[in-house]
Amino acid sequence: MDPTGITNPILRIQSLSAYQGSSRQQQAPFTQGQMLQGLVSAKNGTNQFTIDIGGRQVQAESTAQLQVGQTLHLQVAALTPQVELQIVRSNPINSMIGNAIHLIGQQTATFPALTNLAETSEQLPQLSTDTKATLQFYAGTVTDRLPGTTSAALQNQVTVQLINRAFEILAAQPNSKVGPTYAAIGDLLQQLSQTSTLSTTTAEHAGNLATIFSQLASLQPSTNVPGQRETAAALLAGTNSEVALMPPINTVGSGDQLIQNLLSQLTPLLQENTVLPADHPLRQLLAFLVSTQSETALPQSLQMDGTKLQEFIDRLGVNMEQLLAGNNREKAVQTLKYALLEFSQQVPSSGGDHDQAEQLVKSIELYQLLQIRLASESLFFLPLPFSFLEQGYLLVNTDHSKNGSEENTGSSEQAVQHFELHLQLEGLGNLQIDLHQSDGGITLKFMAEDTERAKYLAGFREELGQWLTAVDLESAQFLVGAKEPAKSLLEKIVHGATGMVDTQA
């Protein structure tokens, strides 16, 4: 029941505090139909209230029985002759976001479908040239990571997992159960042997090593490394493949930088280990992984420069309707959303291609809803729908009223800019990176899921300064506390870590 007795009570704005200066153009920052969220911060008299809307103190009049501390969902009902805000029961944008937020965690399976859609588009002569070109552009910049793929990116992921498993065995206590870890290594090597990025000989080598580790796991499931000398030697002697001995550390060649660093840490641990025999499978695993790094490099799709990355984001179509409304149809028809809408009209509605296109459109519309909703929090939402990220987005603080000095110096460069990067990656898990940039340089704060991952990231502290060329690195912190990116979004939307959001349409 509505306690006010009014279905949709109205707030009539009496005055609005200045925001970012005293220009009259900044006194009415609302647009017709805009959704807002306000907090009743004070009651000033009969039907007189102070409402905090995104940091702006609004003096309003309403017959609604409002309480100090109450959160209001508002919609701009009128701008003239007086600004009027209508109180709505709930924010409909929140409901729509709640119904679609699961798509944030599906981008590794959703966006790679663009490869298939681009192939299908070539068989549809009725499609416009712009739509075909757009689908081809995104198919060329998205690396397919669906199950069963054989990309170099997948090879690198498996390699990282193999190295981490080797670290686990070396760190295990005597007589601890390492059989399952050996079995996992066998499974990963078997998966690696099926990737097309390896030569036939190297793939066979991976298969032979997979057999060795699987047998080692079954023969000695609960014994640590020291007791495996005879078993390891017997298994190696029984293989038909010629297993190369471990190369020196200086032969860790070119390839993925993360893998380079991991191999450089693993190699001395094995070299200094006096318990393992020279032909132990762990040593042979390292030799194998080093050799594979010289065979493959990252695909071009993961080597995009800044210009291509910007084009990738700009052409998603998050602003498609805005472009059309501004009579900029030329750019609108070059967006992915436009291409997907046209594509879905040309294929059977019951087919897989249509479903994939619809799913992608829903993802883009979710990004649009998030931009609208978070704008009321003075945050700009930038999606990062790359298939090599399980989840990813960037938040930019657009409220500079509290940044820099209180006096207006007339220089926009004086303001501190705040960015939040929320990622979820295989292996590293959830990761939040806070960036504060000012004239003095940039400060970084990395938050990982746990202490182990935070320590791992801290190992690359010196390299950060080398990668940053445009600004100086003032400081870098490595902490614990990262949450799942989708959950962090929901908490910002519902203003509290309740884990619940209204999904009623």
* 297 has pLDDT over 70: no
pLDDT at 132: 93
In the chain, what are the domains? 10-89 (2.40.50.140), 152-293 (no CATH), 389-402+414-505 (no CATH)
pLDDT at 128: 93
Helix residue ranges per DSSP H, 172-228: 179-192, 200-219
Report the Cα–Cα distance between both ends of the chain, in Å, rounded: 19
Mean pLDDT of 304-318: 82
**Which tokens belong to 123?**
């068989």
Three-point CA angle 411, 413, 418, nearest 5°: 135
Cα–Cα distance measured from residue 165 to residue 169, given in angstroms and rounded to the nearest whole number: 6
Q: What is the pLDDT of residues 360-403, one digit of tens each?
A: 999 999 999 999 888 878 889 999 988 778 899 999 987 655 55
Q: What is the pLDDT of residues 425-441, one digit of tens each?
A: 877 889 999 999 887 78
Residue in 107, 285, 86, 265 with CA at minimum distance from that of residue 184: 285
Residue in 273, 292, 291 with CA at minimum distance from that of residue 282: 273
Q: Which amino acid is at 72?
A: L
Cα–Cα distance measured from residue 220 to residue 234, given in angstroms and rounded to the nearest whole number: 13
Cα–Cα distance measured from residue 43 to residue 136, given in angstroms and rounded to the nearest whole number: 58
Residues in a beta bridge with 448: 480
Task: Please check whether residue 353 is in contact with residue 117, taking contact to mean a CB–CB distance below 8 angstroms.
Answer: yes
Q: What is the pLDDT of residues 244-291, one digit of tens each?
A: 433 443 444 445 667 877 888 888 887 777 777 777 788 888 888 887
pLDDT at 36: 84
Cα–Cα distance measured from residue 320 to residue 308, given in angstroms and rounded to the nearest whole number: 19
Go through 18-50 and write b for each residue having 16 or more CB atoms within 10 A of its CB, e for each that does not: ebeeeeeeeeeebeeeebbbbebeeeeeeeebb
Residue in 306, 305, 331, 307 with CA at minimum distance from that of residue 319: 331
Q: What is the pLDDT of residues 36-47, one digit of tens each?
A: 888 999 999 888
| Residue 98 Cα distances to 282, 361, 370, 386, 502, angstroms | 47, 16, 10, 22, 6
Which residue do the tokens 């760190």 mark? 171
Which residue would you say has higher pLDDT here, 357 or 468?
A: 357
- Strands 391-397, 417-425: pairing is antiparallel
496 φ/ψ sector (left φ>0, alpha ψ -120 to 50, else beta): left
Mean pLDDT of 203-220: 83
Helix residue ranges per DSSP H, 315-433: 320-325, 329-332, 336-346, 352-375
Residue in 364, 367, 361, 365 with CA at minimum distance from that of residue 345: 361
Distance of CA 385 to the CA centre of its chain: 7
Task: Please check whether residue 6 is in contact with residue 55, taking contact to mean a CB–CB distance below 8 angstroms.
Answer: no
pLDDT at 406: 44
Where is average pLDDT lowest: 55-59, 95-99, 294-298, 326-330?
294-298
